Structure 1
Amino acid sequence: MSPAVFSHGDLRLYLLSLLAEAPQHGYGIIQALTDRTGGTYTPSAGTIYPRLAKLEEEGLVSKTVDGRTTIYAITDSGRAELASREGDLAGIEAGLTDSVRLIANEVRQSVKEAMKSLRADLATAAKDDRATSPSRPRSAGDDERSLTREEMHRADAVINAFRARVRTDLRTHIAKGGTLPASVVTQLEDGLDAAARGITTALAALGR
């Protein structure tokens, strides 16, 4: 996601909304922005800290130093401005959701195209392999090894597609303001563990 998602003044207002939820240090704010945009926009410290300094100068944000960490918090004036611009904030959040959804669709499409390209490359490689070794008749073992290589590439593509799909769905859900309870992550972990055990069992059975 391009920083242009936040038009002039939008990032300033969104920073206030984040601080209205809880006081944060600079890195926490950057991480929150990354999470809310599905990992597609991670602002630099050079983007965030000057804006925080400006908000502090305007009396909308205060800061306290705790050891080596600076904590930023919204002030009453900041809350008043945030309340006066509820409509603007709703528009910003709707725009972020639409942007994340668009990027999610682009990721899914790129995965499909990558798998299509992979299948074409495998078919071409198999054809070239047959063309470069015409003098030796192909054996059943040759065909089996070629098929195994193709299936290994397909397995890699399936794993990568699964990872991209789940990661995108999770980030899109969080960007919409959803939560990610530990039970869902545990379910994902258990499901992957069960799938891995099933594959191990299947491969062991083939080796007998």
Structure 2
Amino acid sequence: MTPAVFSHGDLRLYLLSLLNEAPQHGYGIIQALTDRTGGTYTPSAGTIYPRLAKLEEEGLVSKTVEGRTTIYAITDAGRAELATREDDLVGIEEGLADSVRLIASEVRQSVQEAMRSLRADLATAAQEERKSAKARARSEGMSDERASSREALHRADAVVNAFRAQVRTDLRTHVARGGVLEATVVSDLERALDDAAHAVTRALAASTPSDT
């Protein structure tokens, strides 16, 4: 369990809130908790089912068996308890919203840091390649510069592909876990990529031999 998400007794109340929306089976409750906490909290069956059993003992939840599936539903007594603890439930909801915003902020920061690293790597690679190309041109002639450029191109492809794979994996993993991907994160990524593209263009222009 993640205490930062649910304090003592909060999970019990939130389970009642979920069942107040609609009857649900155990796996559905676990999935709903994962989705609504932005992936910060995925409870185990060993956490959820004992609490559901306790709520049933207290008369706040009932269960029915449909084939191999057990469906849980809130009772009138459960709704009455929710009504008396409405302020507590509002506080829990606000805490979950803060958790989701924190995840979005962390994803945005991760993308920005990855872009800064990519720009730095590209700039360093371009600078090193210009120095190496000039040295080889002086000692071996311009024909070897083409081979060096091809090697540099393969290296640049590897850097860009590695970055794309990493960011794509991070984003897809985050969304698959139920995290929120805000539009501002994508906008930051677009701006950073545009900046990196301009940096590469400037570096290439600076290394292009003059016609005069």
Q: With structure 1 as the length reference, what TM-score do the two structures score?
A: 0.68
SS of residue in 1 equivalent to 2:4? helix
Separation of aligned partners in 2, 1:122 and 1:109: 20
Q: Residue 105 and residue 65 in structure 1: after superposition, are their counterparts in 2 closer, same or farther (change >3 A)?
A: same
* Coordinate RMSD, CA, aligned: 3.3
Percent identical among aligned pairs is: 69
The amino acid of 1:172's aligned partner reads V
Query: What is the match of residue 163 of structure 2?
Result: 157
The amino acid of 2:43's aligned partner reads P
Tell me the matched-pair count: 171
* Residues 1:110 and 2:110 aligned together: yes
How do 1:164-175 and structure 2 match up within 5 A? Answer: 171-172=179-180
Mean alpha-carbon deviation: is it higher for 133-142 or for 21-30? 133-142
Query: What is the match of residue 101 of structure 1?
Result: 101
The amino acid of 1:51's aligned partner reads R
Separation of aligned partners in 1, 2:3 and 2:82: 21
**Offset of 1:171 from its aligned partner?**
3.7
SS of residue in 2 equivalent to 1:2? coil
Question: Which runs of 5 or more residues in structure 1 are unaligned?
Answer: 175-208
Query: What is the match of residue 146 of structure 1?
Result: 152
**Offset of 1:65 from its aligned partner?**
0.8
How do 1:172-187 and structure 2 match up within 5 A? Answer: 172=180
The amino acid of 1:40's aligned partner reads T
Aligned partners of 2:40 and 2:99 also within 8 Å: no
Q: Residue 173 and residue 83 in structure 1: after superposition, are their counterparts in 2 closer, same or farther (change >3 A)?
A: farther
Q: With structure 2 as the length reference, what TM-score do the two structures score?
A: 0.67
**Offset of 1:125 from its aligned partner?**
6.7
SS of residue in 2 equivalent to 1:172? coil
Question: Which runs of 5 or more residues in structure 2 are unaligned?
Answer: 183-212
Separation of aligned partners in 2, 1:17 and 1:25: 14
Separation of aligned partners in 2, 1:115 and 1:136: 36
Separation of aligned partners in 2, 1:107 and 1:28: 26
* Residues 1:81 and 2:81 aligned together: yes
**Offset of 1:99 from its aligned partner?**
1.2
- Name the larger-Rg structure: 2
* Residues 1:71 and 2:52 aligned together: no
Separation of aligned partners in 2, 1:101 and 1:147: 39
